[in-house]
Amino acid sequence: MSTSTVLLVLGAFLASAVEMVEALTIVLGVGIVRGWRSTLIGVGAATIVLAALVAALGPALRVVPIGTLRLVVGALLLAFGLQWLRKAILRSSGYMPHRDEDAAFRRQREQAALAGHEERAGLDWYSFTVAFKGVLLEGLEVVFIVISFGSAQHRVSLAAAGAAAAVVVVVGAGVLARGPLERVPENTIKYVVGLLLTSFGCFWGAEGAGVTWPGDELSLLGVIAFLGAFSFLLVRALRRRLALAPVEAAA
Amino acid sequence: MKYVRSFALFWWNFVVGDDWRVAAGLAVALGLTSLLTHEGVNAWWLLPVAIALLLAGSLWRETRRAS
């Protein structure tokens, strides 16, 4: 298994894990308060939509020439990955609050308790729609990563397997914990995923634009190291800036 | 029309996100890389440098607003 294949599976696994932790919080919040039947039907419906997207788009992208595909996928991964990396740096440096799964869970439960009861097609419509939307929206990011990661290497099934393994792990941990997974270091995982998305985007985008990387696939590790070190320096610089900010304001 | 607008807005936020300048800068960097490569320059270094500059610029703007 090559370096990029290992990183591809790892990226899909971590991205899926962190998004599924957030989806789990929503599903648990609704399911515990309003019952499981409609909630789980909503989860199932969203899962079917997401699986259908991967099954339809994955093979369809095989007909696109690899150079064009890598340019487009690289550009999209860069735009998408930099959003993850940027937010992770802002959180690590203290400019943005960390996501609190426990608070999100409490909020979800309160909203679920306050919502009125409306029945449609034999389902508690609130539970169904909240679970459906929650899983679909969190899952869309995973689908995007699986398709873009997988298609650029013609290995959508491998990326999908990495993402599916994360779903099993997160759901299993959720069942064991019987609550939201608040101890998962979400920001660190998002940081790593952002770094991987941006690095893959850089590697494939440049290849799609006609570049020949020195050292071929090994350059990918060089890009990860460069962007990792640079973002680490940015976190340190921003932390220092934040620490000095009140002093500057008072002076 | 409302749904088309919402749909477009969703995808804009999904791909471009909070800072459109980063997406625009990436497009320019990719275009320049392609141009240089077609002129015979193997500009593998351009994109990593552009990413670093765009990321630093975006964070600078964001944190200046927050300070």
Instruction: Tell me whether residue A230 is in a domain.
Output: yes
Q: Using the predicted structure, report yes or no on whether residue A250 has a pLDDT greater than 50.
A: no
Chain A touched by B16 (CB under 8 Å): yes
A24 within a domain of the structure (yes/no): yes
The predicted complex's ipTM stands at 0.91
* Dist. CA A213–CA A218, nearest whole Å: 9
Interval A223-251 mean pLDDT: 84
In a domain, A94, yes or no: yes
Q: Which of A206, A213, A238 sits opposite B59 (nearest CB)?
A: A238
User: Closest by alpha carbon to A84, among A28, A144, A174, A153?
Assistant: A144
Number of structural domains found in chain A: 1
Instruction: Give the A:B interface size as CB pairs under 8 Å.
Output: 101
Residue A79 to residue B15, Cβ atoms within 8 A: yes
Domain membership flag for residue A159: yes
Contact yes or no for B18 and A202 at CB 8 A: no
Domain assignment of residue A85, given as a range: 3-243
Q: Identify whether A128 is part of a domain.
A: yes
Q: What's chain B's Rg over C-alpha atoms?
A: 16
Residue A76 lies in a domain: yes
* pLDDT digit string, tens, across residues A45-71: 999 999 998 888 877 777 888 888 889
In a domain? residue A249: no
Listed residue (A177, A141, A167, A139) closest to A28, CA to CA: A177
B19-64 pLDDT, tens digit per residue, is 899 999 999 999 999 999 999 999 999 999 999 999 999 999 989 8
Contact flag A86-B55 (C-beta cutoff 8 Å) = yes
Chain B neighbors of A144, CB-CB under 8 A: 14
Whether B42 sits inside 8 A of A75 (CB atoms) is no
User: B7 — contact with chain A (CB < 8 Å)?
Assistant: no
Percent of chain A with pLDDT over 90: 42
Q: Report residue A52 as tokens.
A: 């259908």
State whether B38 and A78 contact (CB < 8 Å).
no
A248 lies in some domain: no
Instruction: With 0.80 as the threshold, say if the pTM is over it.
Output: yes
